[in-house]
Amino acid sequence: MVAAPRPVRRPGRTSTARVACLSAYLALLPMALTALGAYVLTILWTARVSVSSSRIFPAGDFVGMGQYERLFRNARWLLSLENLAIYGLLFIAACLVLGFLLAVFIDQKVMAEGTLRTVFLYPYAMSFVATGLVWQWILNPELGIQGVARRLGFEDFTFDWIVQQDKVLFTVVIATVWQASGLVMALLLSGLRGIDDELWKAARIDGIPAWRVYASIVLPMLWPSVSTALILLFVMVVKLFDAVVAMTQGGPGTASEVPAKFIMDYLFGRANIGLASAASIVLLLTVLAIVAPLYYARGKAVQRGQQ
C-alpha cells in the first residue's frame, strides 16, 4: 500500500501571517496604553482617593467607607440622585417615543425626506451648552414665550417653569429631548429600513392593522436599534451637566441639582477631592450596573438575528 503524500506547506506563509498579526498588535499598542493610563489607572486612582480623607490635595491615609457614609448623609447628593432618576425616566421615555414616531413618519417615503432627516437630526449636532442657552432664552419669563404672548395681548398667559422649583426639571427635559430625539430617530429609521417589505405585504393581505404590526412584529425586530438608543440615552443622562449649568445653574436653589454638577462643585468649588471621588465611583458603578446588562441583551439579540 502506498502512503498518501502529505500536503506541502507553503514556505513562509505562516511566518508572514504572524508578522502581519504582530504588526497589527504593535500598531494598536499606543492606543491601548493610552486607554489604560487615561481610563483604568484614573479609575483606580479615583477609587483610592475615595477611601481617603483627601481635601484640597490627595492624602495617603485610609478611612474606609467614611467618605461614602458622608456622601449618603448629604441631602444635596440625595436630591441630585432623585432629580437624575426623574429626569432619566422622562428623558429616555420621551426620546424613545418621539424618535420612534419621527422614524415611522419618515419611513413612509415622505417628500423632502432628506431635508426632514437633516432638520430632525441637526439639533444633536449642537453642544448641550448652546442648547441650554437657547432654551433659557425661550423659557425666560420676560424674553421668551411668556413675554411674547403677553406683548401680543394675552396678559394672563403664564409659562415660567424655569423659575419654579417644582417644575424647573421639566424644562431641562424639554430642552434635551428636543436635542436628542433626532438621534433616536436616525437609529430606529435604520432599523425600519432593514425590515423586509414582504412583511408589510403579508400584513396587508392578512388585514392586520398597522398599529398591531408595529407593536407585535416591528418593535421586537427593532430591539438591537432600541437597545443601542437606550445605551446612548442613558450615557447622556449620567453625563447631564452642560444643559443644567447653561439653563439653571442647578437652581432655583438646588431644585435642578444633578450628580455631575455636585461632583464638579465639591471637586473645584469646595476643594473636597475625597467626597467628589466617592460620588464619581458611585456614579460609575451605577452606569456599569445598568449598561452592562443592556450590552449583554443587545449582543444576544444580534446573535439570534444572525442565526
Give whole-number Cα distances, 240 to 29, 42, 87, 91, 204, in Å: 32, 21, 10, 11, 44
Q: Which three three-digit cell numbers place residue 115? A: 431635508
Q: Which three three-digit cell numbers place residue 135? A: 432654551
The most confident of 85-89, 122-126, 190-194, 291-295, by mean pLDDT = 85-89
Looking at residue 259, its pLDDT comes to: 94
Q: Is the peptide bond before 252 cis (omega within 30 degrees of 0)?
A: yes
**Mean pLDDT of the region 190-217:** 82
Summary mean pLDDT of the chain: 86
Looking at residue 5, its pLDDT comes to: 56
Q: Hey, where are the domains in the chain?
A: 66-306
**Mean pLDDT of the region 286-291:** 87
Q: Is 90 exceeded by the pLDDT of residue 186?
A: yes
Tell me the CATH architecture of domain 66-306.
Orthogonal Bundle (1.10)
At residue 206, φ and ψ (nearest 5 deg) are -80, -5
CB-based contact 52:58 (threshold 8 Å):
yes
Residue 258 pLDDT level (bands cut at 50, 70, 90): very high
Q: What percent of the chain has pLDDT over 70?
A: 93
Placement of cell 504572524 in the chain: 18
Looking at residue 296, its pLDDT comes to: 82
Q: Is 70 exceeded by the pLDDT of residue 13?
A: no
Looking at residue 302, its pLDDT comes to: 67
Q: Is 70 exceeded by the pLDDT of residue 7?
A: no
Out of 97-111, 127-141, 201-215, pick the least confident.
201-215
Q: Is 90 exceeded by the pLDDT of residue 54?
A: no
